[in-house]
Amino acid sequence: MPRTCVFCQSGKPTREHALPAWISAELPGEEPFRFDQQGKQWLSRDAGKVVKAVCRSCNGGWLSVLETKAKPLLAPAIRGETQTFSVTEQHTIATWATKTALMCELARLVAPADFVSRPQHQHLFQHRQPAPGTHVGPVPIFV
Ligand SMILES: [Zn+2]
């Protein structure tokens, strides 16, 4: 795990959910989540694996603002409700997806692939948007 916040590079990392806790409540079904990570398998009632990579200031600041903007857009879509997103809303979702991909990579919920590189971390922090050329598409998080 990093010694300083992966975004601001200065704060001390604290525990942060790789996948936001609210997602667990939105996903359909009653079955526990199945995790398979580097040969280790387990079941959990929530998808909230934590990673120690983001400082309290980033987590409670700009990342909280991003989560607050993204949740009402994504929650109905996760529940299967048909959604139409404006360009601004698509931008918010792409930014949230980039941030979440980074957190899942750090939590090893996906194979390390450097799909979110160090310059992309910096760009996301400095500009609050994915770096130019970032492709946001479906990525298998759970195997
Ligand atoms: Zn930070």
pLDDT, tens digit, 9 for 90 and up, residues 47-87: 767 888 899 999 999 999 999 999 999 999 888 888 899 99
Q: What angle do CA 119, 52, 5 make, to 5 degrees?
A: 40
- Per-domain boundaries in the chain: 13-127
Rounded Cα distance, 73 and 48, in Å: 20
Confidence (pLDDT) at 115 = 59
Ligand 1: distance of its center to the CA of 106 in Å? 15
pLDDT, tens digit, 9 for 90 and up, residues 88-105: 999 999 999 989 888 888
Rounded Cα distance, 126 and 34, in Å: 35
Q: Is the pLDDT reported for residue 138 higher than 90?
A: no
pLDDT, tens digit, 9 for 90 and up, residues 2-23: 789 989 999 899 988 888 888 8
Ligand 1: distance of its center to the CA of 118 in Å? 14
> For the whole prediction, is pTM greater than 0.85?
no
Ligand 1: distance of its center to the CA of 103 in Å? 13
Which residues sit with Cβ closer than 5 angstroms to ligand 1, an ion? 5, 7-8, 11, 55, 58
Q: Is the pLDDT reported for residue 142 higher than 50?
A: no
What is the sign, positive or negative, of the torsion defined by CA atoms of 60, 75, 130, 134?
A: positive
